[in-house]
Each structure stands twice: as structure tokens, then as C-alpha cells.
A and B are shown apart, each in its own frame.
Chain A
Amino acid sequence: MAKLEIKDLVVSVEGKIILNGISLTVNGGETHAIMGPNGTGKSTLAAIVMGHPKYRIEAGDILLDGESIIPLTVDERSRKGLFLAMQNPVEVPGVTNFDFVKTAVSARMAKDEHLRIGKFIFRFEDAARALRMGQGLSHRFLNQGFSGGEKKRNEILQMSLLNPKIAFLDEIDSGLDVDALKLVGENVTRMKSPELGLVLITHYQRLLDYIEPDIVHIMIRGDIVRTGGRELIAKIDSEGFDWLKAELGIDDFEEKPTQYSLGSCAASQKVAERN
């Protein structure tokens, strides 16, 4: 059974700490939900586990099946069984969806193994049909011209074909209408197994109506501040996060953004005075 352990992780970007000693353990078969206000580091957590080069690990460790993955490259982590369904999947013009997924599936195979294309086409088509992605998906360029909902369903399609051990779904509900959300929820729920650990990052209860979590975490200011069961979801849905901030004595203040001017010298001076 897979096991992901995040231990006392401190992460910075451009010198600013954004994950502040966070710890989390996800076992195969478990479904975790991470909720929290905007800008608390939920997506950063997913990206750093996947190995995004933008972030710097200051302290702590990330272990997959007992082995640190910090020295591994992004693709090595993926081939070890990590998956990230992204909030904003990138568009890659000229690369067809099918070629991309085929290359990704081939990349996970042993050197002496070969992908049996005929069989794989059926698997691809079945997965696309289950997500009601429509005909012609395989020939469309990767995420190019896809609606927001199509992009999210395409992430789930890739996940279903790549068979990860631990999958982070980062705001997979954004851009989905009610029907699409239900469909994605059903597809992800079907994938649940003792071999798959799921981490759902979301702001809203609605996703969690379709993919039931076992454990719910609330993240504020780069750390998990409360862990519980489904009762937390209902409380957040009705009362937001202010009750918890008050309970924990967290001051809610808006950081003053630095203003930049591209205008005249006079405008630059005015901004400098304001700052």
C-alpha cells in the first residue's frame, strides 16, 4: 500500500516562506480533503510534492513509501506514482491529446515493454467515453481550445490512464458545472481503491458531496491548523473560516501590495510616495 509522508515541510518562493512546517500523511485507500482560504498554500503543497522548480524546500522532507523524493526530478516522481491534476492545465499547441497520453503511459513502462497501441486506443476511448469527452478528443491539441470543464475532465482522463498511487486533485471542481462535477466525482470515486491515496484541494463542499473524503484538513497560512472528519466541511460551508481564525487567534490582515508604475516620472514618484 502506498504511503506519502510530508514531514515538517518549510517552503519558500522568492525568499518568502509559504509553507510553514506542514506535516501530512496519506495512505493508499484514504481520501483527504484540504480546505482553506485563498492564498494559504494549498496549491503550493501539491506543486511542491510534484517537484515544481519554482519553489525551494528550506526544511523538512517528503517521503513516498519511506523514501525521500526531494532529490527526484518531476518526471521521476510521476513515474514513482505521484499525480497532480492541475488547477490550470497548460495548453500545448500541436501536440495531440492522444500522443501526449500515449507518451506518458509509455514513459512508465519498463525498457523491454512496448505499448500495444490497439489495446491502448480502446482504453483511451473507454476513459474518454466515461467522462463524456466526445469524439475527436484524441486528435485535439492538448488542452488547446478546451473549455474549463473539458480541461478538468482531461486531467481526470489522464489520471485514469496513468494509474497513480497518490493523486492530488487541485481545485478540480473549478470551471465545472453541476453535471460535469457529478460526472468527475463519479469517475474519481470509481478509481478509489486500497492502492490509491487521494488528496482533494477545494474551497467548496460541492466537490466533497461527490467524492467523499475520510479526513478533512484546514490549511491557513501555510500550515494545517485543524484535522477532522466530514463535520468540518459542513461547518466551513455554513460559517467560513473566521470561527477557526478567531479560535486560533489568527489576525486576518491584507498584505499591502507593492505598487509599480510603468508611467511617467511624475507617476513613479507618486507611487514611491504612496509606498
Chain B
Amino acid sequence: MALPAYLSRLRGAVIFEERLLGNHADLQYDDYTVTIDKDTAERIPFVIAPNGSQSLTFVTTRGVTGKLHLIVYARSGIDLNLEFRLADASHLDIIYSYISFHNQVLKTRTDHILGENSTLKINTGIVHGGACELDERFELAGSGANLKLELLDVASGSDRATIRQNVLHDNQATVSQIDNRLIAGHLARLDYEVTGHIAKASSKSRCVQDNRGLLLGEKSVIQVEPKLLIDEFDVEARHGAAIGQVNEEEMFYMQSRGLSENEAKKLIVSGYVEPYLDKITDSKLARVLRTRIASKIAGGK
């Protein structure tokens, strides 16, 4: 697949299609397994652009700190399996950018297994065209494991997303925090099932989910099913979902400062989008994503 220049020329990037094509970051790679065995000073761009189905595993070694920007690029339909195994006391900070195009099915399953005192920080941006099916699993296997997940999903027109996020707290003092920000333009539909499960013997754990959804069209749909399954005492858990059109009080406040309805809406939408885009350090890629998001919000494909 011919990658666009903004991806193929990313500085220090690792490019993976059916096999590893470029490895400018010198990551250790063997048999579809990437091992992060030393701290990464800068975030490594890792472009995954498979044709059809593909599996990849990422492993961190004990105590290491890694930063990745995983860019899943789907010009045609893909079926991707990604597995992450975080060793004890390792830290992984991932930005995901899912980029797909009109009428394509982007199907991805991710498994994350976190060891003792490991931390996983994820910022996901889904800028899709067509259908996106994402099944994310997080197993907080080691005590003190910590997950922080922020997700932005922007859809419009015939775009559909079916997203399942499953967090299993399977040890003591594990922490998870999910913050989903969803924008559905006219006719788009986003379905989210967000489940936090605190298993037995996982006391002192904390499981938090926040879901915010902004409906920009009368016929747009966002459906979120937040679930908490708690099998242990002495834990903290909460979930919330706030979905609706632009809030009247927010609009009044902004307009009372002189912003027109359009300017106020734009600013409210930017409040969903900018925290994600701010984290993309490559200016060309950030510009492409910003343009696509702006076009989605304006009702484009």
C-alpha cells in the first residue's frame, strides 16, 4: 500500500505493512513481536498499514519506559490484532491514531496485560470513515498496575463505530481511568460498551469511567453503556455518561462574552478535540488530523 508522504516521511518512524519495512528507531523486532527493552527518549512513530488481517505483539521489559505513537492506517478494510505485555514496573505511553476512509471496515482488537506497578497511558484518536469496530481489553494483572485511557472519536455521515472497552482489575490496588470524548455529526452513530470489572481479591482498587458525547446533528446517535462489575469490598468505582447537544448554559456563557453561536460551538468542539491533537508532536500529521476532524465536524466524509 502506498503510504501518504505525511506518514512515509515521519522522522524516526517504524513502518509495518505485512512485514517490517523501515525501522528508523532500531526497535528490537522478531517474528511479529516488538520488544521495548530500553527507555525511549522521544515518542516513536509506528505506522501500521496492513492489507487484510495482521497480528503484532509489543513487549516491554522490566523497569523500562517507552513512548509510542501507533498510527493505524487503513486505505482498505483491515482486521488487526495488537497485544501489549507490560513487564513489572514498566511504563508505556501510547498515542493511537486510527485513520480510515469512506466505506472501509476498520476492525481492531487490542489486548493489554499490565504487570505489577506498571503504568499504561493511552490517548486514542479515531478519525474514521465507514465502520470502526474496536475491541479493547485491559487486564490489570499485577498489583499497583495503573491504566489511564483517553479516547476521542469523531464521526459523521454514514460512519459507524462499535467500541467495546473492557477493563479487568485482577489484583490489589490497581487503578483505571477511562475518559471517552465522542462527537457524532449528522447521521453518524457511535455505540460504546465500557465495562470495568473489579475481580475478587482486588481490594483498594479504583475504577473510573467518564463518557462525554456531543451530538452535532438531529439524527446523530451516541449510545454508551457504562458498566461496573464489582466483586470485592473496599474499592472505589464510578461511571458517568453525559450525552447531548451543545449545553444551553455553556452556550449562554460563551455568547455572553461576545462569541457568536458558531464561534461558541466551534470552541466547545475544540474542547473535545484539542487535548488529543495537542499531543501529536509531528506538525504535518497534526495538520492532516486537524483537517480531517474539521471536515468531519463540518459534515464531510
Q: Which of the residues A73, A94, A101, A108 comes within 8 Å of B270, measured between beta carbons?
A: A94
By a CB distance below 8 angstroms, the chain B residues around A52 are 252
On whether A92 and B253 interact (CB within 8 A), knowing A99-B267, A100-B267, A107-B263, the answer reads: yes
By a CB distance below 8 angstroms, the chain B residues around A86 are 253, 256
Q: How distant is B7 from chain A, measured CB to nearest CB, in Å?
A: 27
Q: Is the CB of B271 within 8 A of A74?
A: no
Q: Report which residue of B247, B271, B274 has the largest number of chain A beta carbons within 10 angstroms of its beta carbon.
A: B271
Is B231 engaged at the interface, CB distance under 8 Å to the other chain?
Answer: no
Task: Give the nearest-CB partner of A47 in chain B.
Answer: B252
Q: Is the CB of A78 within 8 A of B271?
A: no
Q: Is the CB of A93 within 8 A of B271?
A: yes
On whether A53 and B252 interact (CB within 8 A), knowing A92-B271, A94-B275, the answer reads: yes
Among residues 93 to 109 in chain B, which have CB atoms less than 8 Å away from a CB atom of chain A? none
By a CB distance below 8 angstroms, the chain A residues around B241 are none
Q: Is the CB of B255 within 8 A of A75?
A: yes
Q: How distant is A66 from chain B, measured CB to nearest CB, in Å?
A: 21
On whether A107 and B260 interact (CB within 8 A), knowing A73-B255, A86-B253, the answer reads: yes
Is B248 engaged at the interface, CB distance under 8 Å to the other chain?
Answer: yes
By a CB distance below 8 angstroms, the chain A residues around B250 are 90, 92
Interface residues as binary, A32-67 with B (CB distance below 8 Å gives 1, 0 otherwise): 000000000000000000111110000000000000
By a CB distance below 8 angstroms, the chain A residues around B271 are 92-95, 141
Q: Report which residue of B258, B263, B271 has the largest number of chain A beta carbons within 10 angstroms of its beta carbon.
A: B258
Is B26 engaged at the interface, CB distance under 8 Å to the other chain?
Answer: no
Complex-state Cα separation, A100 to B271, whole angstroms = 10
Q: Which of the residues A74, A93, A101, A158 comes within 8 Å of B252, measured between beta carbons?
A: A74
What is the predominant secondary structure among interface residues of chain B facing chain A?
helix
Is A181 engaged at the interface, CB distance under 8 Å to the other chain?
Answer: no
Complex-state Cα separation, A52 to B250, whole angstroms = 11
Is A84 engaged at the interface, CB distance under 8 Å to the other chain?
Answer: yes
Q: Report which residue of B256, B267, B275 has the largest number of chain A beta carbons within 10 angstroms of its beta carbon.
A: B256
Q: Is the CB of B253 within 8 A of A90?
A: yes
By a CB distance below 8 angstroms, the chain A residues around B260 are 73, 75, 107
Among residues 237 to 260 in chain B, which have CB atoms less than 8 Å away from a CB atom of chain A? 247-250, 252-260
Is B192 engaged at the interface, CB distance under 8 Å to the other chain?
Answer: no
By a CB distance below 8 angstroms, the chain A residues around B254 are 92, 100, 104
Q: How distant is B206 from chain A, measured CB to nearest CB, in Å?
A: 19
Task: Give the nearest-CB partner of A94 in chain B.
Answer: B271
On whether A90 and B259 interact (CB within 8 A), knowing A95-B267, A100-B267, A141-B271, the answer reads: no
Interface residues as binary, B227-242 with A (CB distance below 8 Å gives 1, 0 otherwise): 0000000000000000
- Chain A: interface residue total (CB-CB under 8 A): 30
By a CB distance below 8 angstroms, the chain B residues around A141 are 271
Complex-state Cα separation, A84 to B258, whole angstroms = 11
Q: Is the CB of A104 within 8 A of B258?
A: yes
Complex-state Cα separation, A84 to B257, whole angstroms = 8
Complex-state Cα separation, A84 to B263, whole angstroms = 19
Q: Is the CB of B263 within 8 A of A103?
A: yes
Q: Is the CB of B259 within 8 A of A103?
A: yes
Is A230 engaged at the interface, CB distance under 8 Å to the other chain?
Answer: no
Complex-state Cα separation, A273 to B259, whole angstroms = 49
Q: Is the CB of B255 within 8 A of A74?
A: yes
Is B225 engaged at the interface, CB distance under 8 Å to the other chain?
Answer: no
By a CB distance below 8 angstroms, the chain B residues around A93 are 212, 271
Is B272 engaged at the interface, CB distance under 8 Å to the other chain?
Answer: yes
Complex-state Cα separation, A86 to B255, whole angstroms = 13
Complex-state Cα separation, A89 to B256, whole angstroms = 11
Q: Is the CB of A158 within 8 A of B267?
A: no
Complex-state Cα separation, A99 to B274, whole angstroms = 11
Q: Which of the residues B249, B257, B272 comes within 8 Å of A94, measured between beta carbons?
A: B272
Q: How distant is A25 from chain B, measured CB to nearest CB, in Å?
A: 22
Complex-state Cα separation, A141 to B275, whole angstroms = 10
By a CB distance below 8 angstroms, the chain B residues around A107 are 257-260, 263
Q: Which of the residues A51, A54, A73, A162 comes within 8 Å of B257, measured between beta carbons?
A: A162
Complex-state Cα separation, A161 to B264, whole angstroms = 18
Q: Is the CB of B248 within 8 A of A53?
A: yes
Complex-state Cα separation, A103 to B263, whole angstroms = 8
Complex-state Cα separation, A54 to B251, whole angstroms = 12
- 12 A-B pairs with CB atoms under 8 Å apart are A50-B256, A53-B252, A74-B255, A78-B257, A79-B258, A86-B256, A90-B249, A90-B253, A92-B250, A94-B273, A103-B259, A107-B257
Given contacts A75-B260, A101-B257, A104-B259, 17 further A-B contacts (CB under 8 A): A73-B261, A75-B258, A78-B256, A86-B253, A90-B250, A92-B253, A92-B267, A94-B181, A94-B271, A94-B272, A95-B270, A95-B274, A100-B254, A104-B257, A107-B260, A107-B263, A141-B271
Q: Hey, which bits of chain B sit against chain A, CB under 8 A?
A: 181, 212, 247-250, 252-261, 263-264, 267-268, 270-275
The 4 closest A-B CB pairs, nearest first, are A94-B271, A74-B255, A104-B257, A78-B258
